Structure 1
Amino acid sequence: MIRSVVFDVGETLLDDTREFGAWADWIGVPRHTFSAVLGAVTAAGRDNAETFQYFRPGFDLALERERREQAGSGEQIDERDLYRDVRPALAELRARGVWLGIAGNQTAKAARLLRDLALPVDGIATSGEWGVAKPDPGFFDRVAGFAPGERSEIVYVGDHRDNDVVAATAAGLRAVLIRRGPWGHLWADDPVVTVRADHIVDSLSELPELIRPSAQVGPSSD
């Protein structure tokens, strides 16, 4: 039985194009160059924060994020950043009696911006608020305490093999990988994902038929 579904944020609910573009502008490199290096870092299975080191060795992400805020060009999240399937899928899942949460590797400010969107979910949290980030097991301990149900009754939906599928299932949760964004497309056919994810989807609109409060889910043959 599935009682809760918890969603990652970047490239699961939000299209990160605008934010990545803002970072490229901030460090003064062409957007296509930034994207190309980000892709190489992603393909190597490394943390995307390492992208900045190629352009500015010793780059302090937290410090630069604060400088962006002070300059009035800090992170923004609004309706245009949501993928088009987000609101309909969340509304349908909630109408079917599933508890819904959002929890990802974002700042405390991002949590406030997400709450301002008034999405049809029951709870929102970020690593910036919790003080622990994926793939640390402590993050998924917080997810398990955040969402109703036993761990086997909680599904985590994300786009990343290691941070989402592997880390969630290692913590005893179920996992769904969405095939979008650089990570989702890169990892969708990875054998680790195909074994460990319950489902691999192209859109959140597929979830209501796959995840029901009374449904048992198992490894997908997608």
Structure 2
Amino acid sequence: MPVRAVVLDIGETVLDDTREWNAWADWIGVSRHTFSTVLGAVTAAGRDNAETFRYFKPDFDVATERTRREETGHGEHIDETDLYPDVRTSLAELKRMGLWVGLAGNQTAKAGDLLRKLDLPVDQIATSTDWGVAKPDPGFFERVVEMAGVARNELLYVGDHRDNDIVAGHAAGLWTALIRRGPWGHLWAADPAVLANADWVIDSLAELPGLVART
């Protein structure tokens, strides 16, 4: 079936997460380089990135510390400069083609609200916190399909994460594309699991309109 809807992951697909990871490093009092290096090691091991914090503070609770950041004025911040350069034009082109376009990822409700304020050319934005279910849980992709309102084999999910986006999306019966950007996308672009489960591996969102048009 041809693709009729495109839903994109958020972090490191639409958003450059550098600002947020740097904010976390500053918050726990670790140099940004050290934090980034440990995050990379956790990523390479295929583990949840939340484990990064426990190397520095074994009893670290992300939810509690996120609340403390907000209360002290150091919370999440997203603006136009956090978008990758190809985002607006690529989303607009997909919309021009008559496709339903959405964003859905493992983010906080606040991140979703901040993204909506950017007035991106999409039909809907949702986060795992909004839905109460996170990738790679199959329930997340059930919500993605429900949100888009098309058959699962008419929906393309685009993301940078091997397990959360590509393997889980493929298992849900979706078309999948891995974007080679950010630490996860670069690390796993040639991974056997990606090559076995992704319909495409891309370097830019600008590639999507041409690929979708050929389905």
TM over 0.5: yes
SS at structure 1 position matched to 2:120: coil
In 2, Cα distance between equivalents of 1:121 and 1:83: 15
In 2, Cα distance between equivalents of 1:45 and 1:139: 20
TM normalised by structure 1 equals 0.95
1:140 aligns with 2:119: no
When the two structures are aligned, how many residues end up with a matched partner?
Answer: 214
1:13 aligns with 2:14: yes
Question: What amino acid sits opposite 2:35 in the alignment?
Answer: F
In 1, Cα distance between equivalents of 2:39 and 2:178: 20
Give a deviation string over 1:42-67, Cα, whole Å, max 9, x none. 00000101100000001100000000
TM normalised by structure 2 equals 0.98
Question: What amino acid sits opposite 1:9 in the alignment?
Answer: I
Does the CA contact (< 8 Å) of 1:3 and 1:148 recur in 2?
no
Does the CA contact (< 8 Å) of 1:12 and 1:180 recur in 2?
yes
Question: What amino acid sits opposite 1:80 in the alignment?
Answer: T
**By how many angstroms is 1:201 displaced?**
0.2
The aligned residue for residue 190 of structure 1 is: 191
Question: What amino acid sits opposite 2:83 in the alignment?
Answer: L
Give a deviation string over 1:147-174, Cα, whole Å, max 9, x none. 1211000000000000000001111111
- Gaps spanning 5+ residues in structure 2: where? none
The aligned residue for residue 180 of structure 1 is: 181
- Gaps spanning 5+ residues in structure 1: where? 217-222
Does the CA contact (< 8 Å) of 1:135 and 1:164 recur in 2?
yes
Question: What amino acid sits opposite 1:27 in the alignment?
Answer: I
1:26 aligns with 2:44: no
The list of structure 1 runs, each at least 4 consecutive aligned residues, that deviate by more than 3 angstroms after superposition, is none
The aligned residue for residue 51 of structure 2 is: 50
